[in-house]
Amino acid sequence: MDGIDAVAATFADGSVELLRNHHHPWPSRLRERLREVAAQVPLSAGELAELDSAAGEVLAEAALVVLDGLEGEIQAIGSHGQTLAHRPSGRPPSTLQIGNPAIIAERTGITTVADFRRRDLAAGGQGAPLVPAFHEALFRKADRHRVVLNIGGIANVTCLPSNPNESVTGFDTGPGNCLMDAWIRQQTGQAMDENGHFAAKGKVSPALLERLLADDYFRQPPPKSTGTDHFSLDWLNARLPAEPIAAADVQATLLELTARSIAATIDNRTEQVLVCGGGVHNPVLMRRLDELLPCPVVSTAVEGLAPDWVEAAAFAWLARQALAGQAGNLPAVTGAAGPRILGAIYPA
| pLDDT, tens digit (0-9, with 9 covering 90-100), for 2-24 | 899 999 999 988 899 999 999 99
**CATH of the domain spanning 3-126+308-346:** 3.30.420.40
pLDDT at 40: 82
Residues 204-225 have a mean pLDDT of: 98
Q: Round the average pLDDT of the chain to a whole number and report it.
A: 96
Exposure of 3 by Cβ count < 10 A (0-12 exposed, 13-18 middle, 19+ buried)? middle
Cα–Cα distance, 111 to 153 (Å, whole number)? 28
DSSP letter at 152?
S
The pTM (predicted TM-score) of the whole model is 0.94
Domain extent listing, the chain? 3-126+308-346, 132-304
SS3 23: strand
Query: Per CATH, which fold does 132-304 belong to?
Result: Nucleotidyltransferase; domain 5 (3.30.420)
pLDDT at 150: 98
pLDDT for residue 98 is more than 90: yes
Instruction: Give the pairing type, strands 15-25 and 3-12.
Output: antiparallel
277: Cα within 13 Å, side-chain hemisphere: 20
pLDDT at 71: 84
Residues 139-163 have a mean pLDDT of: 97
Q: Which residues contact 17 (CB under 8 A, 6 or more apart)?
A: 9, 10, 11
* Span 225-278, pLDDT tens digits: 999 989 999 999 999 999 999 999 999 999 999 999 999 999 999 999 999 999
Q: Do domains 3-126+308-346 and 132-304 have the same CATH topology?
A: yes
293: Cα within 13 Å, side-chain hemisphere: 29
The DSSP line for 93-131 is -EEEEES-HHHHHHHH-S-EEE--HHHHHHTTS-----T
